[in-house]
Amino acid sequence: MKKILSIQGGMAGGKTTLAKRLEKSMQDVFFSYENPYPNLEKRNGMNLDISTREGFIENQRIFIVSEINRFHNLPDGKIILDRGPEDIEFYTLHYSLANEYGWDVENELQNELQELRKCRSDYILYLDANEETLRRRKQNDKTRGRSSFEQNLKIFSFEKEWFKQFNTRVVDVNHLTPHQLEKSTMKFLEEIHF
């Protein structure tokens, strides 16, 4: 049986940093990290333009199928994801809205979204950082380019409220050090008997 916690939040919010810190001390937990690069390569190979309805729909189909496969291939036991299925659903539904395109994505990807919604995390830890914090962290992180950062900021304003529909704990990380966040997360995991 699986017990899944997803770490969610804005780009550069500290999800991967937190997961890697937890991984060092939690030997009985399986950690799965988001890896968009195979999907991006596939998108580039198909010459998809996600600023078009057709390109976006095909792109999201690739990402949804990949996330469903990742979810079904997770082992039994305790699992922590940096990002999870709910994140793919959020982006799929809010990209058009944030860019004021008016696409009916819900209808066009109805079957894929239905399958994706069968893949749910038991708990979500939402790292709540404001735009200023995200920008500062992005600038300080020289390990990743984050080329879609500005695009993600458009969607970011919808994110926290959307995630509250799930079993979500929101943590204000604007003034927390990585150590403090790790400590508060360990306390949260004890509370939920994870």
DSSP 128-139: E--HHHHHHHHH
Distance CA 188, CA 194 (A): 9
Distance CA 53, CA 191 (A): 44
Structural contact between residues 133 and 177, judged by C-beta atoms closer than 8 angstroms? no
Q: Which residues pair with 3 in a beta bridge?
A: 78
What does the domain layout of the chain look like in residue ranges?
Answer: 2-191
Give pLDDT tens digits along the chain (194 positions): 999 999 999 988 899 999 999 999 999 999 999 899 999 999 999 999 999 999 999 999 999 999 999 999 999 999 999 999 999 999 999 999 998 999 999 999 999 999 999 999 999 999 999 989 988 888 887 776 666 777 777 888 889 999 999 999 999 999 999 999 999 999 999 999 99
pLDDT of residue 147: 66
Structural contact between residues 9 and 137, judged by C-beta atoms closer than 8 angstroms? no
2-191: which CATH topology? Rossmann fold (3.40.50)
**Phi, psi at residue 149, to the nearest 5°?**
-55, -50
**Phi, psi at residue 7, to the nearest 5°?**
-95, 120
Distance CA 189, CA 29 (A): 12
CA dihedral 130, 135, 137, 138 (to 10 degrees): 140
